[in-house]
Amino acid sequence: MPTLADDLGCLSYVVAGDGPPVVLVHAGVADHHMWDAIVPALAEQHTVIRYDLRGFGESTAPTGPFSETDDLRRLLDHLGYERVRLVGASWGGRVAVNFTLAHPGRVHSLAVLAPPWPGYHWSTEMVAYDEAETAALSVGDLDTAVGINLDMWLRGPVRSWENVAAGLADQLRGPLRTSLVNQGIVGEYSQGSPAGDITGISVPTLVGIGKFDVADFQDIGRRYASEIPDATLVEFATAAHLIALDAPTELTAVLGPFLAR
């Protein structure tokens, strides 16, 4: 993969296709490969840019304070794209929202799939998940921490592993392990972005939620859709949290017309 280097390390990225640029920002338990199944169709009409956030995939862990919003701006400047269509999943969705708030003139449209909400009052289920992950990591049990995250984010709270497509857990296990190894240092150095009012987002916006996802994220998705002016909410009946992995065909069918607007 090509890299964009700076004094904090490097960002790895990949570009495919030709046409209006689309940037795909991965979830906080994955890397750019989470989009593999939808890229071929998107690349028929668009230049598709994927990159690994710092500390994920092939991008190095940060060595000092950084901002995900600034990283994305620098990558677009490096590639020569002034205005793009943004698609973000989970934490990548919040990165996309923050970028849109910080640089509204550089965003043509925004699609977010199960993004978090800053300051959300999490359910007891989510608190228990966080406590279990923290306990496993505190004793260096990375395998258990990976399993906890696969159960929460890939399988979801309401379905069995028999209902998850074969091979997805193996596909996600490596990127998830990398994210957990670097979780502490990324959390220490990530500066986030200044708070912004999402009611001021004026670009076409699509919000996606999975019907098998944690109830918190379904609630959050509906909140985004209700507060961003003229946003469209799409519910994916066969997906949990990671819609691009669970329902790539359905997601492509939704994104295609939306990105063409």
For residue 162, what pLDDT is reported? 96
Q: Give the pLDDT confidence score for residue 208 in this predicted structure.
A: 98
Q: Are 100 and 107 in contact (CB under 8 A)?
A: yes
- Please check whether residue 86 is in contact with residue 186, taking contact to mean a CB–CB distance below 8 angstroms: no
Q: Residue 198 falls within a domain, yes or no?
A: yes
d(CA 85, CA 260): 10
Residue 156 within a domain: no
Instruction: Report yes or no on 234 lying in a domain.
Output: yes
Query: What pLDDT was estimated at residue 157?
Result: 95
Q: Enumerate residue ranges in the chain where pLDDT < 70.
A: 193-195
Is residue 15, in this structure, part of any structural domain at all? yes
Amino acid at 58: E
Look up the domain containing 248 and give its range.
Answer: 3-121+185-259
Q: What is the number of domains present in the chain?
A: 1
The answer to whether position 49 is within a domain reads yes
Q: Is the pTM of this model over 0.95?
A: yes
pLDDT at 177: 98
Strand bridging mode 21-25 / 47-51: parallel
Q: Are 241 and 26 in contact (CB under 8 A)?
A: no
In a domain? residue 34: yes
Q: Is residue 130 part of a domain?
A: no
Residue 160 lies in a domain: no
At residue 245, the pLDDT reads 98
- What are 172's strand-pairing partners? none
Cα–Cα dist 214/130, whole Å:
13
- DSSP secondary structure string for all residues of 136-199: HHHTT-HHHHHHHHIIIIII-SSS-GGGSPTTHHHHHHHHHHHHHHTHHHHHHHB-------GG
Encoded amino acid at 195, one letter: A
**What's 34's domain CATH number?**
3.40.50.1820
> What pLDDT is stored for residue 192 in this prediction?
75
CA angle 68–73–75, rounded 5-degree value: 95
Neighbours of 200 (CB within 10 A): 11
Q: Are 88 and 49 in contact (CB under 8 A)?
A: no
CB 10 within 8 A of CB 4: yes
Question: In this structure, are residues 114 and 93 in contact, taking their beta carbons and an 8 Å threshold?
Answer: yes
